[in-house]
Amino acid sequence: MLRKNILYIAILVAFTLVIGTAGFIVIEQYPPFDAFYMSLITITTVGYGEVRPLSQMGRIFNSFLLLFGVSVMFFSVGVITHTVVEMRFADVLNRRRIRKMIDKMKDHYILCGFGRVGRGAAAEMKSSGVSFVVVDRNKDRVEMAMRAGMIAVLADSVRDETLVEAGIKQAKGLIAALSTDADNVFLILSAKNLNPGLKVAARVSEEGSEPKMRLAGADSVFTPYSLTGYRLAQAILRPHVFEFLDITSSSMGLRMGLEQVRISADSTTAGKSLRDLQFRRDLGVIVLAIRKEDGSMQFNPSAEAIVEGGDHLIVLGGDEDVRKLELMLSGGNG
C-alpha cells in the first residue's frame, strides 16, 4: 500500500516537473537545467527567487505552476501521512487480534523460525490440525506464514517476553528451528525455564552441538542434512521400504498414516489385550508398537499384549479410523 502510493506520488511530481521544465524552455527560452531548477524551486516554495527575470507570460505560467505544484506537494504529504498512520493503526489492531487468539490457546505448539525447516514443520502441523504459533524476526517470513492462514508473531524468539507473548506457559511443545545452533540452545534454555514441562524438538546444524541441545533440555534433536542423506540412500538401497515409509509419513493423498494414540486412565479399554480389542477387525487400524508409561517400547506386540492407561499406541490406519480409535481410547466408549 505504501509503496504503491509512493509510486503514484513520484509519477505525479515527475509529471509536474516535466510540465514546468517544458514551459520555461518554450516560454522563456531557459536552458534545460535552468528550466528544471526553476520548476523545482517553484513547486517546493523554497523562495530562492527567479533564476532569470520572467516576462509577463512567464509569470502567468509560473503562477499556475506554483498553484498546481504546491497542491501536488501538499497532497503528496497528506497521502503519505495518512497511509503511514493507517498502517500503524492496522498493525496495532492486528497485534491485538493475534494476542487475543493466543491467549485463548492451550496445549498448543510454538514454532520458532520459519525458514526451510520451519516451513516444513509448519506444513505438517497444519495438516495435522493442531494449534500452533509461528515466531520469526523476519517480516517477510511472518507475512508468508499469515498468508498461509497461520498465527504468526514478528519478534525475536530468544527473548523471554516473546515466548510469553506466544503463550509458552500454556503451550504443550516447542520446535526450535532457528538458523544457528547457538540461538537454538539459548532458546531452549529460556523455554525450559519458563515452562519446565514443555516438550522441545530442536534442529541442529553441527553434529557436535547435539549434546549441548540435549543438555539444554531438548527432548528430540534432528540434523536436517543427515536425515536427507539417510532418505536419499534409502530411496536407492530399499526403494519399496522407502515408498512405504513415504506413504505413511506424508499420506500422499491416501488419507492414511502413522499416528500415536494415548489410552486414558478411565478408558474401558485399559487392562484388555489387543486380541480382546480387535482394532484391526473393527476399525482397520494396525497396532505397530506400544509405548508403555515407563518409557519402554514394545514393537510388533502380540495379540496377548495388555494395554494400560497412560500407554501410547503407535498405529497405522486411515485418518477417520484413527479418529474413531482416539474417541474409543479417550474413555468410556470401548
Q: Which residue has the higher pLDDT, 325 or 227?
A: 325
Q: What is the pLDDT of residues 125-145, one digit of tens each?
A: 998 888 999 999 998 999 899
Give percent of the chain with pLDDT exceeding 70.
Answer: 92
Equal CATH topology for 2-99 and 255-329: no
Domain 105-227: CATH superfamily is: NAD(P)-binding Rossmann-like Domain (3.40.50.720)
Rounded distance between C-alpha atoms, residue 184 and residue 182, angstroms: 5
Domain layout of the chain by residue ranges: 2-99, 105-227, 255-329
What are the tens digits of pLDDT across the range 38-85?
A: 888 888 877 677 777 888 898 889 888 888 888 888 888 888 887 777
Looking at CATH, the fold of the domain delimited by 255-329 is given as: Alpha-Beta Plaits (3.30.70)
What is the model's pLDDT at position 226? 75
Secondary structure class of 290 (helix, strand, coil): strand
- d(CA 33, CA 51) in angstroms, rounded, equals 11
Between the alpha carbon of residue 93 and those of residues 3, 96, 134, the distances in Å are: 21, 5, 18
- Per-residue DSSP letters for 72-114? HHHHHHHHHHHHHHHHHHHHHHHHHHHHHHHHT--S-EEEE--
Which strand ranges, in their side-by-side order, compose the sheet holding 297-299? 256-262, 312-318, 286-291, 297-299
Q: Which fold has domain 2-99?
A: Helix Hairpins (1.10.287)
For residue 91, what pLDDT is reported?
A: 66
Tens of pLDDT, residue by residue over 179-237, are 899 999 999 999 999 999 999 999 998 878 889 999 999 999 988 777 777 778 878 88
Instruction: Convert the pLDDT of each residue in 146-164 to its tens digit.
Output: 999 999 999 999 999 999 9
**Which residue's C-alpha cell is 528550466?**
35
Asked if 117 contacts 203 with a C-beta cutoff of 8 angstroms, the reply is yes
Residues 65, 54 contacting (CB under 8 angstroms): no
Predicted confidence at residue 252, as pLDDT, reads 47
